[in-house]
Amino acid sequence: MPIIIDGKKTSQDIKNEIAARVAEIKAEGGKIPHLAAVLVGNDGASQTYVGAKVKACEQVGFESTLVRLEETVSESELLRVVEDINNNPEIDGLIVQLPLPKHISVDRVTDKIKPKKDVDGFTPANVGRMTLNWPAYVAATPYGIVELLKRYEIETSGKHCVVIGRSHIVGSPMSILMARNEYPGNATVTLTHSRTKNLAEITKTADILIVAIGKPEFVTADMVKEGAVVIDVGIHRIEDASKKSGFRLIGDVKFDEVAAKASAITPVPGGVGPMTIASLLYNTLLAAEGKIYR
């Protein structure tokens, strides 16, 4: 049986550590970390995600502000809201929940966020600093994966790491992090995607396989080397009449058959997913304490 990499437990450990630090800050009379979230429209999934982030802030003792805007809000008005938060000294971190309505440019909104408040780690400044291995806010999901590898003491130096998926949110930054000269890192990295030829031949050489392609159960046992560490970033809801809810969650990896070959694997749910919010909270703590930008 492989090691099941438990993101739910690990994320709770991180939240406990953050809460302990917040208690110290309060005792010292310091400023409590404050996260602001901007939610545009009424997308159900986005409302759920933002609600979970606000709740997590409460759990660790952070202050939080939720700004709700109508789906029809203009780009210029959203940019004005972002600028107001940028200039508010009481707020340490700012996230704008994605996706945004089609009439609004995600790139323009992201670029408007001050790097020192960009706790999502999406601005060009933070991506560039991460690439150079300078202090930076690292995007929450890649940071969460790195933290799982570290806390489970998975060896990465000299290993072949294959990343499937090249998104700016997961795949691309993940490939950079795994190649950096530190731990976890120092891996030889191959970044693959939907147009990669002979993909299965490449994935079968991976000591560490990170799957973020966004396709349900895309990776099967015949694509995985015996003893590989498999990190599944995907999450998909499919119908399942045997469940009370009528559905179940699966990842980008066909778990049961791949787990039979892996030395360690993340489940879905309960693997990478819970780490994302924990990472966001950690970045907000860094922002409040001036650990990245002074």
d(CA 179, CA 198): 23
Token digits of residue 131: 């690439």
Is residue 159 part of the annotated active site? The answer reads no
Coil, strand or helix at 247:
strand
Is residue 12 part of the annotated active site? The answer reads no
Backbone dihedral region of 227: left (phi > 0), alpha (psi from -120 to 50 degrees) or beta?
Answer: left
Token digits of residue 166: 């090249």
Is residue 53 part of the annotated active site? The answer reads yes
Catalytic residue among 6, 15, 53, 252: 53
d(CA 163, CA 169): 13
Catalytic residue among 15, 97, 116, 117: 97
What is 63-128 written as a DSSP string? EEEEEEE-TT--HHHHHHHHHHHHT-TT--EEEEPSPPPTTS-HHHHHHHS-GGG-TT--SHHHHH
Q: How far is CA 236 from CA 165, 221, 223, 285, in A?
A: 16, 19, 20, 30
Catalytic residue among 120, 207, 232, 252: 120
Q: What is the DSSP letter of 222?
A: G
- The residues that are catalytic are 53, 97, 120
